[in-house]
Amino acid sequence: MFKFHSIATKLLFETLLIVGISLVILNLVWINFVLPQKRQDLAQIQLHTAMHAQDKIKDFVFSRQKELATLIEIESFSDLPTERKNELINLILKNDTVVSEIDFLDKNGQELIKISRLRFFSPEEYQNKFNTESFQKASLGNAVISPVYFRDSVPYLSISIPIYDIGRVFTGIVNAEINLSSLWDVFSEIRPSANGYAYVVGEDGILIAHPDLSQVLKNQDVSSRFCVARVLAEMKECSGTEEEASYINENNIEVFAAGVPLKELGWAVMVEIPKSEAFSSINQILRFSAVVIAITLFWVVVISIWYTRRIIVPIKQLEKGAQTIGKGDLNYRLMIKTNDEIEQVANSFNLMAQQLKDSYDMLEKKVDERTVQLTEQNRLLSGLRNLDQAVLSTLEVDELSQIIVDLVYKELGYMFGTIALITPDGKYLRRIAMSRTQNEKLEQSLEIVPIPFKKQLVPLTVTDNALIRAIRERKTIVISKVYEMQKGLFTPDVSEKIEKLLNIKNMHIYPLITKDKVIGIIYYALTLEKEISNVDQAIMQEFANETARALNQALLYQDIKKDREIISAERNKLAVALSGITDAVIGVDLKNNVVIFNTAAQKLTNTSEKEALGRSLDQVITLFDEERVIPLSEYAPIKLNSFEGVIFNKKNVKLIAKDRQAVVDVITGKIKEGVSINLGSILVLHDITEEKKLEEMKLDFVSMAAHELRTPLTSLRGYLSVFMEENKKMFNDEQAMFLNRMNISASQLTSLVENLLNVSRIERGVFTINLEQIDWVSVASGIVDNFQGRAKDRHIKLTFQAPKEPIPKIYADKLRIDEVLSNLISNALAYTKPNGSVTIAIEKSGNDVITHVIDTGQGIPKTAMSHLFTKFFRVSGALESGSKGTGLGLYISKAIIDMHNGKIWVESQVDRGSTFSFSLPIASKVQNGQEKKV
């Protein structure tokens, strides 16, 4: 299709546009200039035509008037007899068809003769026309032409000729009626142009003559037409050059009109030319100029095509040449001889091609040089790539080393390479691998050496060995003598033999350094033929670097492997240990899913390892503290910190697992590596179900025994005291003493039984207290008073130290607290030597009331302190011997104080005394009348 962006198209269209527009503008300017001129000319023609028509009308009317007058005069009309008059009139009518009627009036205006072409008038129809304007005027002696009048729409005028007798006496007039409709015949011949015509307008503006008779018969009033109005009004010609002179006529055609007056009759003679016709000649010229424009444009196209071809063909050659040169044919030369700018461009192209060719040649040379370099580099890259593959293929140091040194021979093209690594103890450099080549001499050289290759250990202490130097100095060392690197291994003669055998030129020793640590060396042996370039050096260095990295990885791998084996062994040991221990061990991950579940755990929960592993711990076991379910978050909290140690510790926990119940002591621990190895915590569950059962049984027995003992004891004591009271005077001292001892023993036994019952209650959880508000100070002082007797017996000073500030009331079970304080005082008296003192003091501390029992007794050894409040515990040694307790008092006291939300504690120094203290909350803190159960 069209290429709008081609020069040819652009040139063609732009030229067409410019030329076309220019021609059209020229044409328009010309039209503008010519039109007014043309209009002037036309107006002249119209006026001429109008004048011609004017002449014709004058001829039409006045010639008739003249002829009529002449005829009448010649014939002496008035003197003729009537018959002759009739005959004459009929002759006129015959000869002039325009005359429709002729009347003869006598001097009095009476019609005497009236002859029409069409009809017969009888004398009865004759009229007197004396008073008519035409008669009056004519009677004055002049021929009169009447104004135009219409009958049956036909315009008429009458010509009145006065008649005189021989004596020049007025005898009447002859009146001839002229049918003006015949004028159309006259006017149809008067034509200013093919479609133009003339017409006549009467003095009152009505159309009276027109080539189209119908227009006349319509009796049209055309006085409104500009030129008509002007001519009728001014009786002057209207040239029609005015703008208003053109109008749309009755046939709906726009016309130009011009007119001249017919002064004698007061008429206007008009000439109309259709506007289109008026300018038809101009249009012809325009048509001609259109043809000229078309031809011109045609030639413009032709010339454009020819000219653009002249331009385009060389341009296309240029384009083709540019493409040819662009494709690489730099020997191509453009042969354009246009002797203009295009030729200059072509020459520039040729010059450019030449310069390109020169540049290209030079570039080729550089490329060759660069190719050699690239080949060398490729060698390195290839070696390195293979090295990478080797690293991927194995992590065994010996195998990897062998592959690397083989690459030195195969890929890098050196005679051979050797890797030696520092032994793990850091004392020796040991050869690990040497290139396997096709070179037999290399094999022979190995046979020459006295020590097998892999056993060639060079102590790092050998300072003048080149290999050791390379390690120490951490730099590349190039040697030409083999012995330099075999010092400390062989004698010089062995080295010399090898050197000669292998024809070694020099050896490049590179330390293998990775992460700033030297792990060994690699050396490359080069023959005499081989030239060493910079690239070679770079290759060797890079290769050494990569080797160091790869071998380091392999060494690390070896270490890891070893560590793993150790870990594996540890794990196995642990597994054996876990399965062997009697406590259940459960490990959970960081999501509390079971990951360790030992044999004991399986047994405890009656759940197999398979069932337990992977499940959430709370799906495997449920722990209860009394009746409360211990949430998982409490006994196995997830702690993502590096905390290590016990995180939960609780005894006597009820465990329900599957269909099994047990009582366990739970210890949850965590290790700091837990987070990294996905080990949340480890639970150790010590099964105390059996112990508990035994305890129950023991308690049951004790309880039962105590109950069974209490009844006979009560009666024994009752009877004994009655017996003693009643027979007091019967006994001698010895008997009294026995009885008294019996009584004391019975009391002790009762006390023991009571204590045992209390312990049993505490253990079973049925020990209750009944809280009430009590004034502790008065209660306490009363209790102290009760012990004054015993204190006196033992020569101990028992003091109740009154508080310095008022002590608020406390909530407590009066009896139980009494028991606690009594117990403490009793103990203090028991363990205090005579002349010692026991002091009871009460103080308020915060929201608590603290009661101290301070003695100056023998004190409690440190080792006993922690067991002091456990049941059946009695301090051994001196203390034990002096006491008569059951080992249950403090245990019960603690239980009571605990139930009061208080605390009991002891401070003691051996040989100095002890202070037992307990705290009780003041009254406002606890509600009245509460009952509490342990």
* Residue 636, Cβ density class (10 Å: 0-12 exposed, 13-18 middle, ≥19 buried): buried
Number of CB atoms found within 10 A of residue 814's CB: 16
Q: Are residues 803 and 844 in contact, defined by beta-carbon separation less than 8 angstroms?
A: yes
Q: Which stretch binds another protein (CB under 8 A): 284-292, 326-334, 352-360, 641-649?
A: 284-292
Dig out the tokens for 131 from the structure: 């008073």
Q: What are phi and psi of 513, to 5 degrees?
A: -115, 130
Determine, following the binding rule CB under 8 A, whether residue 804 of this chain makes contact with another protein. Answer: no
Determine, following the binding rule CB under 8 A, whether residue 117 of this chain makes contact with another protein. Answer: yes
Which listed residue (59, 87, 473, 700) binds another protein by CB under 8 A?
A: 87
CA-wise closest residue to 400 among 526, 536, 556: 556
In the complex, minimum distance from the CB of residue 49 to another protein, in angstroms, rounded to a whole number? 21
Q: Which stretch binds another protein (CB under 8 A): 88-96, 333-341, 630-638, 704-712?
A: 88-96
> What is the H or E stretch that residue 291 is in?
helix 280-326
Determine, following the binding rule CB under 8 A, whether residue 4 of this chain makes contact with another protein. Answer: no
Determine, following the binding rule CB under 8 A, whether residue 213 of this chain makes contact with another protein. Answer: yes
Determine, following the binding rule CB under 8 A, whether residue 5 of this chain makes contact with another protein. Answer: no
In the complex, minimum distance from the CB of residue 76 to another protein, in angstroms, rounded to a whole number? 18
The smaller minimum CB distance to another protein, of residues 27 and 394, is found at 27
In the complex, minimum distance from the CB of residue 123 to another protein, in angstroms, rounded to a whole number? 7
The smaller minimum CB distance to another protein, of residues 222 and 397, is found at 222
The smaller minimum CB distance to another protein, of residues 279 and 349, is found at 279
Which residues, 317 to 376, sit near another protein by CB under 8 A? 319-320
Determine, following the binding rule CB under 8 A, whether residue 283 of this chain makes contact with another protein. Answer: yes
Beta bridge partner(s), residue 206: 221
Residue with structure tokens 């003095």? 203
Q: Which stretch binds another protein (CB under 8 A): 64-72, 282-290, 373-381, 663-671?
A: 282-290
* Residue 245, Cβ density class (10 Å: 0-12 exposed, 13-18 middle, ≥19 buried): buried
Dig out the tokens for 707 from the structure: 């109950």
Which residues, 176 to 205, sit near another protein by CB under 8 A? 179, 181
How would you classify residue 584: left for phi > 0, otherwise alpha for psi between -120 and 50, otherwise beta? beta
Determine, following the binding rule CB under 8 A, whether residue 90 of this chain makes contact with another protein. Answer: yes
**Residue 330 half-sphere exposure toward CB, CA atoms < 13 A:** 12
Dig out the tokens for 271 from the structure: 């000439």
Q: Which stretch binds another protein (CB under 8 A): 51-59, 82-90, 131-139, 562-570?
A: 82-90
The smaller minimum CB distance to another protein, of residues 88 and 896, is found at 88
Which listed residue (12, 113, 655, 830) binds another protein by CB under 8 A?
A: 12
Q: What are phi and psi of 248, to 5 degrees?
A: -95, 120
Q: What are phi and psi of 323, to 5 degrees?
A: -65, -45
Determine, following the binding rule CB under 8 A, whether residue 280 of this chain makes contact with another protein. Answer: yes
Q: Are residues 488 and 465 in contact, defined by beta-carbon separation less than 8 angstroms?
A: yes
Number of CB atoms found within 10 A of residue 389's CB: 11
Q: Are residues 7 and 311 in contact, defined by beta-carbon separation less than 8 angstroms?
A: yes
Determine, following the binding rule CB under 8 A, whether residue 8 of this chain makes contact with another protein. Answer: yes
> What is the H or E stretch that residue 546 is in?
helix 534-580
In the complex, minimum distance from the CB of residue 9 to another protein, in angstroms, rounded to a whole number? 7
C-alpha gyration radius of the chain:
78
The smaller minimum CB distance to another protein, of residues 91 and 730, is found at 91
Determine, following the binding rule CB under 8 A, whether residue 609 of this chain makes contact with another protein. Answer: no
> Distance between CA atoms of 711 and 709, rounded to whole angstroms?
6
> How many residues sit in the footprint of another protein (CB under 8 A)?
63
Q: What are phi and psi of 418, to 5 degrees?
A: -135, 145
In the complex, minimum distance from the CB of residue 211 to another protein, in angstroms, rounded to a whole number? 10
Which residues, 239 to 278, sit near another protein by CB under 8 A? 276
> Distance between CA atoms of 40 and 176, rounded to whole angstroms?
42
Determine, following the binding rule CB under 8 A, whether residue 741 of this chain makes contact with another protein. Answer: no
The smaller minimum CB distance to another protein, of residues 149 and 872, is found at 149
Q: Which stretch binds another protein (CB under 8 A): 12-20, 38-46, 436-444, 887-895?
A: 12-20
Determine, following the binding rule CB under 8 A, whether residue 28 of this chain makes contact with another protein. Answer: no
Which listed residue (100, 158, 246, 839) binds another protein by CB under 8 A?
A: 100
Interface characters, 138-177, with another protein (x: CB under 8 A): --------------xxx-----------------------
Beta bridge partner(s), residue 686: 665
Q: Which stretch binds another protein (CB under 8 A): 85-93, 513-521, 668-676, 714-722?
A: 85-93
Q: Are residues 817 and 781 in contact, defined by beta-carbon separation less than 8 angstroms?
A: no
Which listed residue (279, 597, 635, 891) binds another protein by CB under 8 A?
A: 279
Alpha helices in 794-852 (DSSP H): 814-830
Determine, following the binding rule CB under 8 A, whether residue 861 of this chain makes contact with another protein. Answer: no
Determine, following the binding rule CB under 8 A, whether residue 308 of this chain makes contact with another protein. Answer: yes
Determine, following the binding rule CB under 8 A, whether residue 293 of this chain makes contact with another protein. Answer: yes
Number of CB atoms found within 10 A of residue 371's CB: 11
Which listed residue (140, 169, 248, 302) binds another protein by CB under 8 A?
A: 302
Contacts of 230 (CB under 8 A, 6+ apart): 236, 238, 259
In the complex, minimum distance from the CB of residue 100 to another protein, in angstroms, rounded to a whole number? 7
Q: Are residues 249 and 280 in contact, defined by beta-carbon separation less than 8 angstroms?
A: no
Which listed residue (121, 130, 723, 905) binds another protein by CB under 8 A?
A: 121
In the complex, minimum distance from the CB of residue 23 to another protein, in angstroms, rounded to a whole number? 9
Beta bridge partner(s), residue 778: none
In the complex, minimum distance from the CB of residue 210 to another protein, in angstroms, rounded to a whole number? 12
Q: Where are the beta strands (DSSP E) in 60-180?
A: 99-106, 111-116, 144-145, 149-151, 154-164, 170-179
Determine, following the binding rule CB under 8 A, whether residue 32 of this chain makes contact with another protein. Answer: no
Determine, following the binding rule CB under 8 A, whether residue 313 of this chain makes contact with another protein. Answer: yes
Q: Using the 8-state DSSP alphabet, how is residue 729 labeled?
A: T
Which listed residue (32, 81, 83, 531) binds another protein by CB under 8 A?
A: 83
Cα angle, residue 434 at apex, residues 431 and 437 outer, rounded to 5°: 165
Determine, following the binding rule CB under 8 A, whether residue 82 of this chain makes contact with another protein. Answer: no
> Distance between CA atoms of 125 and 112, rounded to whole angstroms?
10
Determine, following the binding rule CB under 8 A, whether residue 2 of this chain makes contact with another protein. Answer: yes
For every residue of 628-690, which 3-state class applies, written as one string? EEECHHHHCCCCCCCCCEEEEEEEEEEEEECCEEEEEEEEEEECCCHHHHCCCEEEEEEECHH
Which listed residue (5, 32, 118, 366) binds another protein by CB under 8 A?
A: 118
Determine, following the binding rule CB under 8 A, whether residue 9 of this chain makes contact with another protein. Answer: yes
In the complex, minimum distance from the CB of residue 323 to another protein, in angstroms, rounded to a whole number? 11
The smaller minimum CB distance to another protein, of residues 292 and 556, is found at 292
CA-wise closest residue to 883 among 874, 872, 891: 874
Which listed residue (86, 324, 439, 883) binds another protein by CB under 8 A?
A: 86
* Residue 923, Cβ density class (10 Å: 0-12 exposed, 13-18 middle, ≥19 buried): buried
Determine, following the binding rule CB under 8 A, whether residue 71 of this chain makes contact with another protein. Answer: no
> Distance between CA atoms of 377 and 739, rounded to whole angstroms?
119
Which listed residue (69, 112, 286, 478) binds another protein by CB under 8 A?
A: 286
Which listed residue (34, 69, 206, 282) binds another protein by CB under 8 A?
A: 282
Look at the chain and count its residues: 934
Binding stretches for another protein (CB under 8 A): 1-2, 8-9, 12, 16, 20, 24, 83, 86-87, 90-91, 93-94, 97, 100, 116-125, 152-154, 179, 181, 213-214, 217-219, 276, 279-280, 282-284, 286-287, 290-291, 293-294, 297-298, 301-302, 304-306, 308-309, 312-313, 316, 319-320
